[in-house]
Amino acid sequence: HLLLLSSLWILVASPALSIFQRPTGSPAPPHLQYLLEPLHTAVHTQRGATATLPCVLRALPRNYRVKWSKVEPTNYRESIIIITNGLYHKNYGPLSPRVRLRHSHRYDASLTITNVALEDEGRYRCQLVNGLEDESVSLMLHLEGVVFPYQPSNGRYKFNYQEAKRACEQQDSRLATYQQLYKAWTEGLDWCNAGWILDGTVHYPIINSREPCGGRLLLPGVRTYGARDKQKDRFDAFCFTSALQGQVYFIRGHLNFKEAGQACSNHGATIAKVGQLYSAWKFSQLDRCDGGWLADGSVRYPITTPRERCGGLPDPGVRSFGFPSKELRTYGTYCFVG
């Protein structure tokens, strides 16, 4: 697991009582009487890791509760995760089996999430419930990962929102957030087809302005179509995936799609999904010049060191041969073993 360290204020003992002292030159925000303002409001992690979101009290009110909740990105509602009164706690919702309070000392109400999943990314709130003096701090959990555009075998602009969401999940990923798409654009993602993202809006990232993609006069950026009809409107999808808990590897051969799946099975593995190949390319620097079958029937290959004989493109990336006939015996296969 990735070890994430969160900075705590120093506990200073005095004869009368114990207090938390802030660093010199950092006065406490006037609106927080009991909760410490976190040193860092963003925690970065990867899928499968253990992450801790810091929430520390400077003093303990006579009667209080601490409530952790998560702001859902699709509807901005808050879902309760855990409530504690310092002695007892209760977990709620789908995160329940994977969360606990850190409790490294009696002022510590930090939230620890084990085996971080793709859907855990987002904004969290630690709220001190103390009658009329409620107060809270917000923190962001960011997953390191990779965004990739995705369309089905029958061509571009075939997904409504729910179909796009399901397609990403079937490829070991989820619909990207706007922040994830924006970060991917700053790192070089340039794609002319518009796609759904998690909040139900539609965008496409452009680095090199060109005629088929809005014209040469428009500045580079993440172009937006705004919110669209989730049932009627159809676009591609932008999917997001993070680190793998497993390995992707290549089996050489002249295999059709069915034989590719069997070859992986013979090795105790499954045919890799698109998200798994992107993850192996991003986090394990998987680099192969060989096209291989994937679980959706597409043929792709990952390149981390661009070279002329491997497609000739100047940038790293996962190259695609599209969706050839599944009877074609031309390619090997990429397998995944957990």
Q: For residue 50, how far is the Cα from the chain centroid?
A: 14
Containing H/E element for 265? helix 257-266
Q: How far is CA 228 from CA 161, 181, 194, 224, 235, in A?
A: 9, 17, 12, 11, 10
Our CA angle for 148, 154, 156, nearest 5°, is 50
pLDDT at 77: 86
pLDDT at 212: 87
Q: What is the mean pLDDT of residues 294-316?
A: 94
Q: How far is CA 148 from CA 111, 176, 195, 318, in A?
A: 31, 9, 10, 9
With cut-offs at 50, 70 and 90, classify the pLDDT of residue 24: very low
Q: What is the mean pLDDT of residues 90-96?
A: 94
3-class secondary-structure state, position 151: coil
Q: What is the mean pLDDT of residues 32-43?
A: 92
Say whether pLDDT at 39 is over 70: yes
The tokens describing 185, both together, are 């654009």
Q: What is the mean pLDDT of residues 217-222?
A: 91
CA pair distance 301, 310, nearest whole angstrom: 9
Neighbours of 190 (CB within 10 A): 16
pLDDT at 130: 86
Containing H/E element for 262? helix 257-266
pLDDT at 21: 41
Say whether pLDDT at 184 is over 70: yes
pLDDT tens digits, one per residue of 246-296: 999 999 999 999 999 999 999 999 999 999 999 999 999 999 999 999 999
CA pair distance 208, 57, nearest whole angstrom: 49
CA pair distance 326, 321, nearest whole angstrom: 12
With cut-offs at 50, 70 and 90, classify the pLDDT of residue 302: very high
Q: Are 98 and 49 contacting, i.e. CB atoms less than 8 angstroms apart? A: no
Our CA angle for 2, 76, 152, nearest 5°, is 70
The tokens describing 258, both together, are 């069915």
pLDDT at 61: 87
pLDDT at 23: 45
CA pair distance 121, 70, nearest whole angstrom: 9
Alpha carbons within 13 A on the beta-carbon side of 63: 2
Long-range own/partner contacts, residues 214-221 (CB < 8 A, 24 or more apart): 221/185
Mean pLDDT in the chain?
Answer: 89
Backbone angles phi, psi at 39, to 5 degrees: -60, -40
pLDDT at 19: 31
3-class secondary-structure state, position 332: strand
Share of the chain above pLDDT 90, in %: 80
Domains and CATH numbers, the chain: 35-143 (2.60.40.10), 145-241 (3.10.100.10), 243-337 (3.10.100.10)
Instruction: For the chain, give the longest Cα–Cα distance.
Output: 80
pLDDT at 4: 32
The tokens describing 93, both together, are 């919702």
CA pair distance 254, 108, nearest whole angstrom: 58
pLDDT at 18: 32
Sign of the CA dihedral with 156 first, then 161, 162, and 165 last? positive
pLDDT at 113: 98
Sign of the CA dihedral with 191 first, then 192, 196, and 202 last? positive
Say whether pLDDT at 6 is over 70: no
- Residues facing 22 on adjacent strands: none
Q: What is the mean pLDDT of residues 34-39?
A: 93
pLDDT at 217: 87
Residue that wins the pLDDT comparison between 26 and 71:
71
CA pair distance 276, 170, nearest whole angstrom: 11
Which residue has 């997953």 as its token pair? 143
3-class secondary-structure state, position 117: coil
pLDDT tens digits, one per residue of 51-72: 999 999 998 888 899 999 999 8
The tokens describing 139, both together, are 């923190």
3-class secondary-structure state, position 120: helix
Q: What is the pTM of this model?
A: 0.85
